[in-house]
Amino acid sequence: MKPTRFSPLEANSTSYYGLLGLFALFVLIALAAAHHMESEGHYVTGMTNQIVWGTPHIFAVFLIVAASGALNVASIGTVFGVQDYKPLSRLSALLAIALLVGGLSILVLDLGRPDRLIVAMTYYNFKSIFAWNIFLYTGFLVIVAVYLWTMMEGRFNRYSKYTGYTAFIWRLILTTGTGSIFGFLVARQAYDAAIMAPIVVMSFSFGLAVFILVLMAAYKWSNRPLGDVILLRLKNLLGVFIGAVMYFVLAYHLTNLYVTENHGVEEFILLGGNVYTMVFWFGQILLGSLAPLALLYLPQTGKSRTAIVLASILVILGGFAQLYVIIIGGQAYPLNLFPGMEESSSFFDGVVASYTPSIYEFLLGLGGIAIAMVILTFGLAILSFLPESLSDSIMRESPAKSAKAAG
Amino acid sequence: MTQTHDTNNSQRTAVGDEPVDASRRKFMGVAAATIGGLTIAPGVILYATAGARPVDQPVSDTVRWGILIDTNQCSEGCDDCVTACNEENGLIGHDRPRTDAQWIRKLTAKDKSTGHVISLPMMCQHCEHPPCVDVCPTGASFRRADGIVLVDKHTCIGCRYCMMACPYKARSFVHETLTDQKAHAPRGKGTVESCTMCVHKVDNGDGTTACVDACSQEGHNAMMFGDLNDPDSAISKRLAQFGGKQIRADLGLNTGVRYQGI
C-alpha cells in the first residue's frame, strides 16, 4: 500500500501570481472601503439606527459558519474514521482557518471603533456571548493549527486523533456561540429562539460547498487527477447537509407559526410580498436548496461535474440568501412595544425598516472572502496540503489506511 | 469626558472591584470634600435635601432613580421633553432621520380595536436587568448601583450588539464625526449612546432631568423624577396611590421608567 503523497502547488507561474495579486487587490479595496466608512462615519453605509447590522455581517457570519462547515471533511476522516476523507483533511483544516480569518476581519473592520480591538481583547463581560465568541474564534484558529501540525509532522501523527476530536467539539461549540448571538436576543421576534443555535450549527452545507469548489479548482489548476469516487462521496454528503439545513428552517418556521404572537413576523417573511419574501422563497428555498438537490440527485445530472459545481455555487448563494433573511429581515420587522397597537414616531417605530446596502459594505464583504482566498492560495503553495493524486485507482486502494500522514 | 470617567469608577467601586488608584482617589476625595466644605458649605445641605451623593462617595444602591410618566397629561404633538434633551446633551440632527441620534422620542400608539390613542415619551427604560448590559462584550454598557444605565465611551467598540438587544429601541449609534460636544455629555463617532437620565444633573444634586424639568416648566406635569427606593419620595407615593406600568413588563426587566395610562 502506498501512502498518500502530498506536495505544494506549483507557484512559479505568472497565472499563480496573477491570481494572488487579484485577491490582494480586493483586500486593498476592502481596506480602502473600511477606511472610508471609518473616517466619514457609518452614515455613508446603508446601515442605520434601525438596521444596525448590514451586508458586512451577512458576509462575516457566512464565512464563520462556512469555516466550521469546511472542517467537516477533516472531522469525518479523523473523528468518524472514514478513510476516503483522510487525504482531504489538511485542505479542510486550512480552508477552515482561512474562512474564519476572512470573516473575523470583516467584523473587526465594521466596528464603530476598530482601533479599539485591544479593548475587546482586554475587557470582558462574560455574560455576553460576543465575549465568549472572541475566545471561541481565536481558540478555533489555534486548535485547528495544532491539528494541522499533528497531521503534517510525521513525529506527531499519533496525536492527530486527539487534536482532531478537540477541533470537532470546538467547532460545534463555536457555531453554537455564533447562532446564540441571535438566539439570545429577547427583543426581536425573528430571533429569541433556542433553535437559532442548531440552525447555524447545522449549516454545514455552506462550508462543504466552498470546500468542493476549492478542491475542484485546485486540482484543475495544478493538473492533478481528481477521480469520481471522492467527488461523488462529497456530492452525496452535500445533499444530506442541504436536507439537514432545510429541516431546521422548517422546524423554525413551524414553531413560530404555531405561536400566535409570532404570526406577524412570519407573515412578514413568508407572505409579505416584500424583498425578504422573495429572497426566502426564490433565493433560499428554490435556488439555494431545491435546485441543488435536484442537480445532485436527478439521474440526468447526478454524476456531472458541471452539475456539482453549479449545485455548490447555488448552495453558497442560498446561504447568503438565508443569512440576508435572518439578519436584515429580522431587523426590518419593527419591535413590538405595545402588542395590539399601531405605533408611530420620528424614530421609525411601527414601520418596516428599509435597507439599501452601500457599495462600501459590499466591498468590505468581498474583501473578507479575498482575505480567505489569499491565505488559502498562499498556504497551498508553501506547504504540502494537497494530495498529488485523488484518482479513482488511488482511492480504491483505500489509500488513507496506509497513509497515517494524512491524519 | 471627566464626568464619564467619574461615573465609571463609581460603578466599579460600587459593584466591588478594587480600584487600582484607590489611595489617589481617597486623597482626591478628601481634598474635594475639604475644599467643598470650606467654599460651598451650603452645598452639603443641598446634597442632603436633593438626595445626591458627595463626590467622594461611590454610587450607592440605597437609591434607585426613576421616572414616572402620566400619558394622560402627555399631549400628542408636544415634544418639549425631546427639545430639552437635545439641548441639554448637545444632540444636533444632520437631516438624516435614519441615522440621527435620538435619546428620547415621542411615540404614538393607537389601539387597533378601540381606536384609543396614547402619546408618550420613549427612551432608555433604565432596566434593573438590562439586555444591553448582558450582551455588551467589553462591559462598556453598564448599570450604576443607583439604577442608571450608561455607556462607557472609552470601552465601547461600536459593535452595536446592545442596539440589537434593546427591546425599546432606545439606543443610537453615532454615525458621523461630531464637534462641540457638551463636556458633561461625552459623545463620539463610532460609539453607541442613549439617555443617561441626565446623570450629570443627578450627580450634581439637581434632583431632576432635562426632560422632566422642561415638562414641568411648561406646566404639563406629565413627568416626575425621583427615588423609587424611598417610600416617602413623591414618585413612590404617586406610584403607590395610582400605580404605574412597565412597557414590555412580560420581559421581566424591572424598568426604572414607569407609565400611567397605558
User: For A124-162, how does the pLDDT look when each residue is reduced to its tens digit (9 = 90+)?
Assistant: 999 999 999 999 999 999 999 999 999 999 899 999 999
Minimum-distance CB partner of A113 among B135, B156, B176: B156
Length of chain B (residues): 262
Task: Write the pLDDT tens digit of every residue in B218-259.
Answer: 999 999 999 999 999 999 999 999 999 999 999 999 999 999
Task: Judge whether B157 and B137 are in contact, CB under 8 Å.
Answer: yes
A residues 113-132 lying closer than 8 A (beta carbon) to B:
113-114, 116-117, 119-120, 123-125, 127-131
Q: How many C-beta atoms lie closer than 10 Å to residue A279's C-beta?
A: 22
- Rounded Cα distance between B23 and B10, Å, is 14
Per-residue confidence (pLDDT) for residue B30, from 0 to 100: 55
Backbone torsions φ then ψ of A164, nearest 5 degrees: -65, -40
Task: Judge whether B224 and B239 are in contact, CB under 8 Å.
Answer: no
Task: Judge whether A403 and A4 are in contact, CB under 8 Å.
Answer: yes
Nearest to B67 by CA among B246, B261, B252: B246
Angle at A72 between CA A67 and CA A75, to 5 degrees: 125
Q: Listing from the earlier edge strand, what are the strands of the sheet with B104-111?
A: A341-345, B104-111, B117-123
Q: Which residue of A has its CA nearest to B104?
A: A347
Length of chain A (residues): 407
What's the whole-number mean pLDDT along residues A213-230? 94
Which stretches of A51-151 are assigned E, i.e. beta strand? none
| Mean pLDDT of the residues in chain B | 86
- Rounded Cα distance between A84 and A158, Å, is 19
Smallest CA–CA separation between B98 and chain A, in Å?
A: 6
Nearest to B233 by CA among B62, B46, B10: B62
Q: Chain B partners of A185 at a C-beta cutoff of 8 Å?
A: 131, 135, 164-165
- List the single best residue of B113, B132, B173 to mutate versus A (max A Cβ within 10 A): B173
Per-residue confidence (pLDDT) for residue B40, from 0 to 100: 46
Determine if residue B261 is left, alpha or beta; phi over 0 gives left, psi from -120 to 50 gives alpha, anything else beta. left
Residue B38: half-sphere exposure toward Cβ, Cα within 13 Å: 5
Nearest to B254 by CA among B193, A275, B244: B244
Minimum-distance CB partner of B158 among A111, A124, A338: A111
What's the whole-number mean pLDDT along residues B17-42? 51
What's the whole-number mean pLDDT along residues B88-103? 96
| Mean pLDDT of the residues in chain A | 92
CB contact under 8 A, A337 and B107: yes
Taking each helix axis from N to C terminus, what angle separates A55-70 and A359-382, rounded to the nearest 10 degrees?
A: 20
Q: Which pLDDT band, with edges at 50, 70 and 90, does B29 fall under?
A: low
- Rounded Cα distance between B174 and B99, Å, is 8
Residue B105: half-sphere exposure toward Cβ, Cα within 13 Å: 21
- Reading the block at residue B10, the C-alpha cell is 463609581
What's the whole-number mean pLDDT along residues B203-216? 96
- Rounded Cα distance between A323 and A340, Å, is 29
Q: How many C-beta atoms lie closer than 10 Å to residue A218's C-beta?
A: 18
Q: Which residue of A has its CA nearest to B253?
A: A186
Per-residue confidence (pLDDT) for residue B6, from 0 to 100: 42
DSSP string computed for A156-200: GGGGHHHHHHHHHHHHHHHHHHHHHHHHT-TT-TTS--TTHHHHH
In a 3-state reduction of DSSP, which class is residue B122?
A: strand
Q: Which pLDDT band, with edges at 50, 70 and 90, does B106 fall under?
A: very high
How far from A197 is each of A51, A173, A207, A326, B257, CA to CA, in Å?
22, 10, 17, 13, 33
Amino acid of residue A351: V
A residues 190-229 lying closer than 8 A (beta carbon) to B:
none
- Rounded Cα distance between B215 and B17, Å, is 38
Q: Is the pLDDT of residue B47 over 50?
A: no
Q: How many C-beta atoms lie closer than 10 Å to residue B96's C-beta?
A: 12
- Rounded Cα distance between A174 and A140, Å, is 8
Nearest to A98 by CA among A351, A380, A401: A380
Nearest to A140 by CA among A105, A179, A167: A167
